[in-house]
Structure 1
Amino acid sequence: MEQLRDLWKFSARITSASWLLFGTVLLVYYAALSWMPSILKEEGLGDTAAFMTTTLMSGVGITAVLVSTALVDLVGRKWLIGVTAPLSGLALVAFAYMMHMPTGALVAIAVFGFLMQLTIPALYAYVPELYPTLLRASGFGYASSFSRVLTGFAPLLFGSVMWPVLGLKLTFGVLALAVVAAVVWMAVAAPETKGRALDEDAEGAAAPGAKPLAADQAAL
């Protein structure tokens, strides 16, 4: 509990942004991944077609991870997350509207899988860099744990409450808006870490010749 208090004492803005990003992005990802076969079968696709479609969503993600590792240092962590996370939510909404257009729905699923796997590696790189060395592991760990708690309830929340009550289009719309809200708060509350030295190098001394990230954090 002392580490948890230290995270919020260090920066409530950064910690809240980290938790919201992890929570919303992974909630959308695992809700879609868990329920996509059921959604597709509900729309009349057979088991094989549903399986092949979700395999496509995962398969394009492999390429996306490789692309993300290249882009994260070119465009920056915040830009990559801030663009791809909302667009992935929009792709799910587009999928809901194109359910009766097999080709369009297939493209939307593939786009969702690609964009989401651009987002997640960037998120995993970004959040630890927001914290000083002594808090880096716990900062990442607590944000990740928060997302695991949310995603643990995702099947119940999505399949038993949101989808039956709101319908698929509105459900995906709500999830997309949650991602947008998290990204907006990240833009306000957390600094860009691209090209910035972390507070200490492996020897415990400030890295030479690089602008320290602590200056941006203090400004927040």
Structure 2
Amino acid sequence: MSITAPDHTVQQDVAARLERLPMSRWHVSVRLIIGVVTFFEAFDQLLIAFSLPEISREWGLSTAGATATLTVGSIGMLLGALASGWLADRIGRVRVITLCLVITALGNLGMALSPALLPFLVLRFIQGLAIGGEVPTAASYIAELSRAKRRGRFVLMYEVVFPAGLTVGALASAWIVPHWGWRTLFLIAAIPGVAAFFLQRRVPESPRWLAARGRSAEAQEVMTRIEENVRRSTGRDLPPPAPAPAVVGSESARTGALRDLFTGRYRRRTLVVWTIWFVGYLANYGLTSWLPTLYKQVFGLPIDVSLWYSTLASVAGLAGCVLAALTIDRLGRRMVLSIGLGGTTVAMGVLAVLGANSAGQLAVFSAFAAMFSFAANISLYLYTPELYPTRSRALGCSLGGVLNRLGIIIGPILVALVYAGGTGLSAVFLLIGGITLVGTLVTAVFAEETKGRTLEELSP
């Protein structure tokens, strides 16, 4: 697709017009539609952990087979996150989100009908590409629609749908799998694919992205439609645009290259945010992905009880996300990230000392760890888009997603290796706590604060 050098006056105009828009029903409706997509991507992500015990029983999986089933989707998510940023910076945010939704739904349908493990794993990998691609692309899109004032709450109240999807997925799995089996669960998860129709009809492309690509006429047209929708939903005239920070000549029509993320001010930002992505998700999924299996194998709980115990971590994680959304504009990004990782470190340290001698003890402290780690992790979906210019925002977010997926892949494998080594659960918790301690220190010392500043001011 050919592109034209951007008109920096148009870029400034689009930024100023977005900044002056009051919150309206239009914002809520767009955030809701994108939120529904992200909700079900999250719902699909965790289904494998809760269906794994039954899949293992049906197909007689070994520990290695179970680990492969648990991680193959994460490998797909890693590659999907890597590709989605490149693609979204070229063809647009909304097109990529729609494509990911359709692939995810078809993957669920195929997995529900899989006759054996191999086709199931292939489909799970393909579905992982879509899940990994949608989430960082949607984060870029929502950030580009928001204004500096209370951007944290605006973005994170959307991002809360992701842990909400994890929680509903956990609760649905705990009920559906024992009663109707894991195949029914995946069939139900395929239904939301119809949301692609509403996505294409109701959600406009990002005007910031259009302007940065040199598609000035389209950017102005989309911006005018957005303003008309906001004016209609509020019933009031819009205030005049305030002067926006200048968009300097370095913001060219070219899409971002990997080297841009390591040039000038972006080098430190990239290294810090990559560290937080990796540490946060390694800790989170290293623990939560194995919880149903640990409750069943270590403490001898029935499968239905194991699944219900596991939902406590998801519910606590959702509460942590809501707390982060409500406080991040006041406390700042660096403080919320530091508290989240630090709280996870403390919870893991307590479990390491106590040794997780009972299922109840594991449930309580894993819930506390989930609450803090989810709060930190969800904040990254706000923080990362703030760190990069429009030309490479989706790429920056997607590469953060790559570190996210590396953490998700390595976390469960590390837990399996350490526990299989005969050292017991305490060593597992000590390892996770040590890793999150490193993340806490890196965040507290090196993370740059971004609250209250426009995207153009942060990345001119």
Normalised by the length of structure 1, the TM-score is 0.81
- What residue number does 2:318 align with? 62
Offset, 1:6: 1.4
Displacement of 1:66: 2.0
| Corresponding residue of 2:385 | 128
8 Å CA contact 1:43, 1:99 repeated in 2: no
1:73-88 correspondence to structure 2 within 5 Å: 73-88=329-344
Identity of aligned residues (%): 27
Report the equivalent of 1:72.
328
Q: Give the equivalent residue in structure 1 for 2:418.
A: 162
What is the match of residue 13 of structure 1? 268
Residue 141 of structure 1: CA displacement? 0.9
Aligned counterparts of 1:183 and 1:136: Cα–Cα separation in 2: 25
Counting only pairs closer than 5 Å after superposition, residues 149-188 of structure 1 correspond to structure 2 as 149-159=406-416, 161-165=417-421, 166-188=423-445
Contact 1:72-1:80 within 8 A present in 2 as well:
yes
Q: 1:63 to 1:150 in 2, by over 3 A?
A: closer
CA shift for structure 1 position 98? 5.1
Does the 8 A contact of 2:355 with 2:426 survive in 1?
no
**2:262 partner amino acid:** W
Q: Which residue, out of 23, 26, 33, partners 2:278?
A: 23
In 2 relative to 1, CA 13–167 (structure 1 residues): closer, same or farther, beyond 3 Å? farther
Q: 1:78 to 1:152 in 2, by over 3 A?
A: same
Give the structure 2 partner of residue 108 of structure 1.
365
Instruction: Please say if residues 61 and 113 of structure 1, whose CA atoms lie closer than 8 Å, have aligned partners that are also in contact.
Output: yes
**Corresponding position of 1:204:** none
2:382 match: secondary structure: helix
Per-residue CA deviation, residues 76-97 of structure 1 (Å, 9 max, x unaligned), is: 1110110111212321332342
Which deviates more, 22-31 or 144-153? 144-153
Mapped to 1, the partners of 2:392 and 2:444 lie a distance apart of 21
Measured in 2, the distance between the counterparts of 1:173 and 1:49 equals 26
**Partner SS, residue 193 of structure 1:** coil
- Whether the aligned pair in 1 keeps the contact of 2:385 and 2:396 (CA below 8 Å) is yes
> Cα RMSD over matched residues?
2.3
Summarize deviations over 1:110-137 as a string: whole Å, max 9, x none.
2122222222221211122122232222
- Deviation string 1:173-209 (CA, Å, 9 cap, x unpaired) is 22222222123223333311111222x2xxxxxxxxx
Kindly tell me: are residues 101 and 171 of structure 1, through their superposed partners in 2, closer, same or farther at Cα, counting changes over 3 Å? Answer: closer
Alpha-carbon distance between aligned partners in 2 of 1:134 and 1:187, rounded to the nearest angstrom: 28
Q: Where does structure 1 lack aligned partners over 5 or more consecutive residues?
A: 201-211, 216-220
* Alignment check: 8 A CA contact 2:332 2:449 kept: yes
Does the C-alpha gap of structure 1 residues 74 and 20 become closer, same or farther in structure 2, counting only changes over 3 Å?
same
Confirm whether residue 140 of structure 1 aligns to residue 397 of structure 2: yes
Task: Name the CA shift for 1:113/1:156 in 2 (closer, same or farther; >3 Å).
Answer: closer
**In 1, Cα distance between the equivalents of 2:378 and 2:412?**
23
Find the aligned partners of 1:190 and 1:155 in 2 and give their Cα distance. Answer: 27
Work out the CA distance in 1 between the residues paired with 2:435 and 2:379. Answer: 19
Query: For the Cα contact (< 8 Å) 2:299–2:358, is it kept in 1?
Result: no
* 2:258 paired with 1:4: yes
Are 1:86 and 1:179, in contact at CA under 8 Å, matched by a contact in 2?
yes
Query: Larger Rg: 1 or 2?
Result: 2
Aligned residues: 202
Q: Secondary structure at the match of 2:329?
A: coil
Read off the aligned partner of 2:301 and give its amino acid letter: L
Counterpart CA distance in 2 for 1:99 and 1:163 is 13
SS at 2:300's partner residue?
coil
* Kept after mapping to 1: 8 A contact 2:386/2:450: yes
Map Cα deviations across residues 38-87 of structure 1 (whole Å, 9 max, x no partner).
22221333323321111111122223322221111111111011011121
Whole-angstrom distance in 1 between the partners of 2:276 and 2:357: 32
CA distance in 2, matches of 1:64, 1:133: 29
The answer to whether the 8 Å contact 1:89/1:172 transfers is: no
Residue 101 (structure 1) shift: 4.5
| Cα distance change on mapping 1:98 and 1:157 into 2, 3 Å | closer
